[in-house]
Amino acid sequence: MIHLTDTEFHNLVDYIHQNFGIDLSKKRLLIEARMYSVLAKKNVSSFSEYFSLIQNDPVELNVMLNKLTTNHTYFMREASHFQFLKDVILPKEQECNRQKNLRIWSAGCSTGEEAYTAIMLMKEFFGAASGWDYRMLATDISTHVLESARAGVYPAESLKDLPPAWVARYFRKSGKMYLLSDEVKREVIFRRLNLMEPFPFHHPFDLIFCRNVMIYFDQETKNRLIAKFYEILKPGGYLFIGHSETIQRDAAAFHYIQPSVYQKGY
C-alpha cells in the first residue's frame, strides 16, 4: 500500500488550498481513503509522483477534485430557503420587476437538486405562459457532478421531500430511478467554475445560492468569496448560505435577514 508522507500531505493540501480555496488540512484520512485506488489505477509508486502528474494534466486534476469533494444533496434541502423564495422574494419581484427577468446562480451546485428545486418552485409560482424569464446558472468545480446534474436522473430517496404533485408533474419513473423532465432541465445552464478565480459575469444576479460550500474554506477564503458575491449581486439581491454557515460582519456589507439569508442594500 502506498504511504502518504507528511511532506506529501502538506504539499497536496497547500496546492489545493492555493488553487481552489478548499481546506483539506484536517482531511488526511479522507485523502488516503479516496486516492489509493486512483494511484493504483495510474500505476504510480508514490503520492509525490501523482502530485507531479496532476500539476501537468488537467484531466487528472479533475479526477482528483471529483474524488476529494463531497457532494451529498437532495431536492428541497434546507426547505426554509425555498419557502423564503416563495413567500418573500418572488411576490416582491412579481410586483416590482417590470422586465420579468430573474438572474439566479447556484454556486457549488453539486448534482443539480438545488437549482432544479428552485426552477420547479418558480414554475409553480408564476404558472404557464407567464412571460417570466428565470433561467438559472449552476456551477461546480467537479465535472463529474455536473455530468450527473445535466442527466437529471435521481434515486427515490433524493425526491422524498418534494410535494407528490411535483414528482408526478416533473419526473418520470424508470426502474428504480426518476428522470427529470426536459421542461425543468432546459431552464438550467451548467458550467464548470472555480470560485477562487475571477467571476466571468457581465451582469449582476438577483439571488445567489452558495449553500454548504464554504464549510470547506478557511475564514480568509470565505471572506474573500463573500465580498465577491456582494459585488456581483444587484442592490437588494439575496445570498443564501448553508444553515451551519455564517457571514462575518466585516466580510461585506450584507444585511442579515434571518439565519443563512442575507441581503445586499439598495
pLDDT number for residue 71: 65
The 3-state secondary structure of 75-107 reads CCCCHHHHHHHHHHHHHHHHHHCCCCECCEEEE
Kindly report, residue by residue over 225-265, the tens digit of the pLDDT: 999 999 999 999 999 999 989 898 887 899 999 999 999 99
Kindly report, residue by residue over 13-28, the tens digit of the pLDDT: 999 999 888 888 888 9
- Ranges of each domain in the chain: 6-68, 79-263
Give backbone dihedrals phi and psi of 24, rounded to 5 degrees, phi first: -110, 20
Active site residue 34: yes
C-alpha grid cell for residue 187? 431552464
Catalytic member of 6, 77, 135, 140: 140
CB atoms within 10 A of CB 233: 23
pTM for the predicted model, two decimal places? 0.88
Whole-angstrom Cα distance, residue 248 to residue 132? Answer: 35
Whole-angstrom Cα distance, residue 233 to residue 30? Answer: 35
- 167 by Cβ neighbours in 10 Å (0-12 / 13-18 / 19+) ranks as middle
CATH class of 6-68: mainly alpha
CB atoms within 10 A of CB 115: 26
Active site residue 140: yes
Catalytic member of 6, 14, 23, 34: 34
Query: What is the chain's length?
Result: 266
Q: At a CB cut-off of 8 Å and minimum separation 6, what does 99 contact?
A: none
CATH class of 79-263: alpha beta
Q: At a CB cut-off of 8 Å and minimum separation 6, what does 169 contact?
A: 181
